[in-house]
Structure 1
Amino acid sequence: MTTTTQASKPVVAHCLRCGRALRNATADGYGPKCRVMVRKAARAEVVAQYKPHQVAKAEELIEQGGLVPLRGCRVFYAVSSDGATAYKAHRAACTCPAGIKALYPCKHRIAAHILSLAA
């Protein structure tokens, strides 16, 4: 008795910024060229506007793949620190508790700002 098995198709990952297929999937979800553009945007304009520790947290959020584009490159789903909740983030506003109080810009807003500049 012979059994036939179907060959499993490899899962193809796509860049979150440009949508191209990635040969090697990364944790942040960006291809090598898009990753460079995102980092340049973070260094140039954003560093001058926000405090360094806030920018570092936003860059960490991007590198961990905690920001997923929802509508183009303007609105994003941002994952909370514990991974249990997702917030909607834009460079001007965020639905997280810190963003609703609007006392200071949260890391989700800063990360959305970085990604919108890289678009």
Structure 2
Amino acid sequence: MCGTTATTEHGRCLKCRRPLRKPSPDGYGPKCRAKLRRNARTDTTHPKWQVAKALEALELGAVVPLRQNRIFLVVSDDGSEVYRTAATGQCNCPAGLRSVRCYHSLAARYVAAA
């Protein structure tokens, strides 16, 4: 591979945009991943099952920032749908359309806060 380095082959962190030195299945670097997990551990405002599903989505790389870490695409738990979610709580999933808090917006909030 002419002219490429190890840092460009693995892409960039989805949160801070720094080059990744090692491949990452979730798309985040080690420092950003640690911040995401710390935010989830200290969250007492959401049910534990929502926190667990939000962390699972983050670990699977199912949360992709679109615009300046304010709007995100989040894949559903069965992988059949992609929802547009804001870190402020708006989501176009069936629960979000009924104004019920969903784990998609929780995962987006964790990424935005990291």
Q: Residue 97 of structure 2: which of 92, 97, 100 is its match?
A: 100
Equivalent-residue separation in structure 2 for 1:51 and 1:116 (angstroms): 19
Q: Residue 83 of structure 2: which of 78, 83, 87 is its match?
A: 87
**Residue equivalent to 1:26:** 24
Q: What stretches of structure 1 of length at least 5 have no aligned partner?
A: 1-6
Shift of 1:97: 1.2
**Residue equivalent to 1:39:** 37
Count of residue correspondences? 109
Equivalent-residue separation in structure 1 for 2:51 and 2:27 (angstroms): 19
Shift of 1:84: 2.9
Q: CA RMSD in A?
A: 1.6
Shift of 1:115: 1.2
Percent of residue pairs identical = 42
Larger radius of gyration: 1
Displaced runs of 4 or more, over 4 A: none
**Residue equivalent to 2:48:** 52
**Residue equivalent to 2:74:** 78
TM-score (norm 2): 0.86
Equivalent-residue separation in structure 2 for 1:12 and 1:27 (angstroms): 10
TM-score (norm 1): 0.83
Shift of 1:23: 1.4
- Which piece of structure 1 moves more, 63-72 or 78-87? 78-87
Q: SS in structure 2 opposite 1:62?
A: helix
Which AA in structure 2 matches 1:23? R
1:11-35 C-alpha deviation (Å, 9 max, x unpaired) = 3311001101111111111111111
**Residue equivalent to 1:3:** none
